[in-house]
Amino acid sequence: MIFDTNALITACKFSLEGEVLIDLLGKHCRIRIPQSVADEATQNPQHPDARIAAQRVADGSLLPEEPTVEAPDFLRAYRLGRGEVDAVRLYLSHPDEVDLLITDDLRTYLVCSRMGIPVRILPDLIVELTRRGRLTKAQAIEIIEVTSSRYSDGVVAHSRAMLQEIEDGEEEEQESDA
């Protein structure tokens, strides 16, 4: 998974049962970030989420990478932030190694969708990890509740409904290190 800045900040801002969401997610998928995302997410050390992101970079659990592919010219017209552009570039640098780009930015989501880049918002990643048996339904529901201040009422309600559709015991055991 590639996380852009806003997805990384959300994952560093919230905890479940004393465990920071970024750490919980890191147990179930390989999280990749561009260097610019690390820079943006850690630029305000007075914020707890910035300190957590900086700690994860320092301890090696998040390894910032430099994209090797230039951004398509049209990308400039979308006026995305540097971290979002570099997340797209990082995906384009490794399309066969990455399952999804995770963003909570609507324009970035639109751009990725139009470019054919598999993209999800963070709540959809939570639902997918639950379907794969990586998170329990109870954990997923709690994550959606804990992070609900970051999302519209529609996203929260829809995420709850998606989780309710997963039958107890239906979760599959699958490996994914995307």
Residue 176, pLDDT score: 45
The answer to the question of residue 88 being in a domain is yes
What is the predicted pLDDT for the residue at 142? 97
Domain assignment of residue 113, given as a range? 2-121
What confidence score (pLDDT) does residue 169 get?
A: 59
| Confidence at residue 172, expressed as pLDDT on a 0 to 100 scale | 52
The answer to whether residues 117 and 135 belong to one domain is no
- Whether 160 maps to a domain, the answer reads yes
pLDDT of residue 70: 96
Q: Residue 74: its pLDDT value, please? A: 97
Question: Rounded CA gap, 155 and 159, in Å?
Answer: 6
Q: 45 and 69 share a domain?
A: yes
Is residue 74 located within the same domain as residue 148?
no
Q: Do 12 and 92 fall into the same domain? A: yes
pLDDT of residue 167: 80
User: In degrees, to the nearest 5, what angle opens at C-alpha 24 toward C-alphas 136 and 9?
Assistant: 120
Tens place of pLDDT per residue across the chain (178 aa): 999 999 999 999 999 999 999 999 999 999 999 999 999 999 999 999 999 999 999 999 999 999 999 999 999 999 999 999 999 999 999 999 999 999 999 999 999 999 999 999 999 999 999 999 999 999 999 999 999 999 999 999 999 999 999 987 554 544 444 4
Same domain, 75 and 159: no
In the prediction, which pLDDT does 83 show?
Answer: 96
Beta bridge partners of residue 119, listed in sequence order: 101
Q: Is residue 169 part of a domain?
A: no
Identify whether residues 129 and 70 lie together within a single domain: no
Given this model, what pLDDT does residue 94 score? 96
Query: Are residue 77 and residue 147 in the same domain, yes or no?
Result: no
pTM of the model as a whole? 0.91
Same domain, 42 and 109: yes
Residue 28 and residue 52 share a domain: yes
Residues 29 and 66 in one domain: yes
HEC profile of the chain: CEECHHHHHHHHHCEECCEEHHHHHHCCCCCEEEHHHHHHHCCCCCCHHHHHHHHHHHCCCCCEECCCCCCCHHHHHHCCCHHHHHHHHHHHHCCCCCCCEECCCHHHHHHHHHHCCCEECHHHHHHHHHHCCCCCHHHHHHHHHHCHHHCCHHHHHHHHHHHHCCCCCCCCCCCCCC
